Amino acid sequence: MRILISNVTYLESAVSQDSLNPVDIGIEDGKISFIQEHLPSRDQKTHLKEAAWDRVIEGRGRLALPGLVNAHTHLGMTLLRGYGDDLPLMVWLQEKMWPIEDQLTEKDVYWSSLLAIGEMLRGGITTCADMYFHMGATAKAVAEAGIRASLTRGVQDVGGSGLRGLEEAIGFCQKWQGAANGRITTMLGAHAPYTCTPGLLRKVADWANRLGVPIHTHVAETSTEVHQIKEQYGVTPLGMLAGNGVLDVPVTAVHCVHLEEDDLELATQRGVRVVHCPGSNMKLGSGIAPLPEMLATGLIVGLGTDSAASNNKLDLWEEMRLASLIHKANMQDATVIPAVTALKMATCHGAAALHLDKVGKLAPGWVADLVLVNTEGLHWQPPSNPQASIVYAGGRNDVSLVMVDGCIVYDQGELLTIDEDEVIYHVKKIAHRLGLL
C-alpha cells in the first residue's frame, strides 16, 4: 500500500528540533520513501500526484514519531497482572509466578500475548522483545496482530529443564527467524546466571553462534543475585556470562541494576547492549541501575517495561519519564538523562539494543514503523520544546495512529488487527480457571 501523510510535524530522527516545519511523508512497500517539505495545497496535487496514493492522511495537529520500542517484556505474563504485587523479586518469582506459570497452556499464552500487544499498539509501541515459553503461540499472535517483535524462548535449568528448553529454543529460532515479512526476529534466551548452570550457558552460546542469533538474558537484577553468583562462582553475574562464552556473541542484557565498575568496562569492551527497566526495578525493590555511568561509557541502552505482572503497565511513555526523573533525583543533578536521551532510548537505541537494522528512526529507506501523536491537547501547550513535551507531558492516550511495516494497525481509538472484546472474553475466562478472579 502507498500512503501519504501530509502536513505533519516531524522531529528529524526523533531527537532534533531542526525540522519542526510541516512535512509530507511518503510510505511505499513497508518503507519510508521520502520526507520532504510540505507544499501549499495549490501545489500539492501536482508535486505529489495525490491521486496515485492509496490513502492520504491529514497530519495537521499531529507529531510524527518513530514507533516506540519496548526492548524487554514477557507477554505471556500479562494474564498475571496484579497477582503477587508488592513482593521482592525472588519471593515474587518462587512463590507466585513460577507455580502459576506451570498451569499456563499454549492457548493461555496466545490470548495473553494478544492482550499485551493490543495494549502496546494503543500506546504507540511498534516493536517489542519477548522472552517466555510456548513461544509458538506468541509468534502466532505477533504475526496476526502486525507488531514487530524479537522473540526468545527462555531457557533455564530450574527443575532440570535446561536441555529440553534449549532444544525448543533452537527449533523456534529455525522456524520463526524472519517470519511475518521479516517482522519477527529471534534470539536465544539464557534466562539469567542464577537460573543457568555454566554448562547450559556454554551450550546456549555455542548454538547462538551456529544459528547467527543474539542472546537475550537478565543480568544483575538484584544485589542478592550478585552475592549468590559471587559466592558460588567467584565472579559477578556478567563475569559468569563472559567466562562461559556468552559475551562472545551479540548480547542483549536486561536490567543490569547492580553492575560494578569492572562490569561496565567489560560490557563496553564486548559491545553488550543493555535494556533499562526502571518501573519494574522500582516496583520489585531491585534498585536503580547505573544508567548515567552506562551511557558515559558509550553503551547502547534501550528501554523496557518488563512484564505487566511486575510493572503493571506496558507503557513506554511512562518508562521514558521514569528513566529521566529517577536518575536526576538519585544523582541530585537535573542535567542527567535529558529528555532527548530518554526519547532515543525509547526509539533508535531500543532498536539497536535488539540488534535490529533500519528500525527506530523516520528516514528514507527505513521501515515504516510510525506513530502520529495528537499535540492539540492542553498539556502540550505551548509547543515550545517538543522533546520535553513528549517525555515529560505526553502519554499513550495522545497516540492517534500507529503503523507497522507500512500497515496501519491502530487508528483513532480502534485496533484494526485485534478484536478487543474477544481478547477480553478469553482472558477473563482463563483468569477464572486459574483462580485469579
Note the pLDDT of residue 46: 44
**Of 425, 418, 427, 417, residue with least CA distance to 112:** 427
Q: Give me 406's grid cell.
A: 507500512
Phi, then psi, of 105 in degrees rounded to 5: -100, 175
Identify the residue whose cell numbers are 495549490: 42
Greatest pairwise CA separation for the chain in angstroms:
73
**Of 71, 140, 66, residue with least CA distance to 404:** 66
Decide: 91 and 333 in contact? Cβ < 8 Å: no
Counting every residue written for the chain, the total comes to: 437
Note the pLDDT of residue 138: 98
**Of 339, 295, 252, 316, residue with least CA distance to 123:** 316
Domains of the chain: 3-66+366-415 (2.30.40.10), 68-353 (3.20.20.140)
301: helix, coil or strand?
Answer: strand
Strands of 108-147, DSSP E:
125-132
Note the pLDDT of residue 48: 57
CA distance 389 to 392: 5
CA distance 269 to 299: 9
Note the pLDDT of residue 103: 93
Q: Give me 335's grid cell.
A: 542535567
Identify the residue whose cell numbers are 517483535: 149
Q: Give me 402's grid cell.
A: 500507529
Note the pLDDT of residue 214: 98
Note the pLDDT of residue 40: 67
**Of 355, 389, 165, 127, residue with least CA distance to 253:** 355
From first to last of its 437 residues, what are the pLDDT tens digits of the chain?
899 999 999 876 444 444 567 899 999 999 999 999 987 664 555 455 656 899 999 999 999 999 999 999 999 999 999 998 998 888 988 999 989 999 999 999 999 999 999 999 999 999 999 999 999 999 999 999 999 999 999 999 977 778 999 999 999 999 999 999 999 999 999 999 999 999 999 999 999 999 999 999 999 999 999 999 999 999 999 999 999 999 999 999 999 999 999 999 999 999 999 999 999 999 999 999 999 999 999 999 999 999 999 999 999 999 999 999 999 999 999 999 999 999 999 999 999 999 999 999 999 999 999 999 999 999 999 988 889 999 999 999 999 999 999 999 999 999 999 999 999 999 999 999 999 98
Identify the residue whose cell numbers are 513461544: 135
Phi, then psi, of 118 in degrees rounded to 5: -60, -45
| Angle between helices 339-346 and 316-331 in degrees, nearest 10 | 140
Note the pLDDT of residue 89: 87
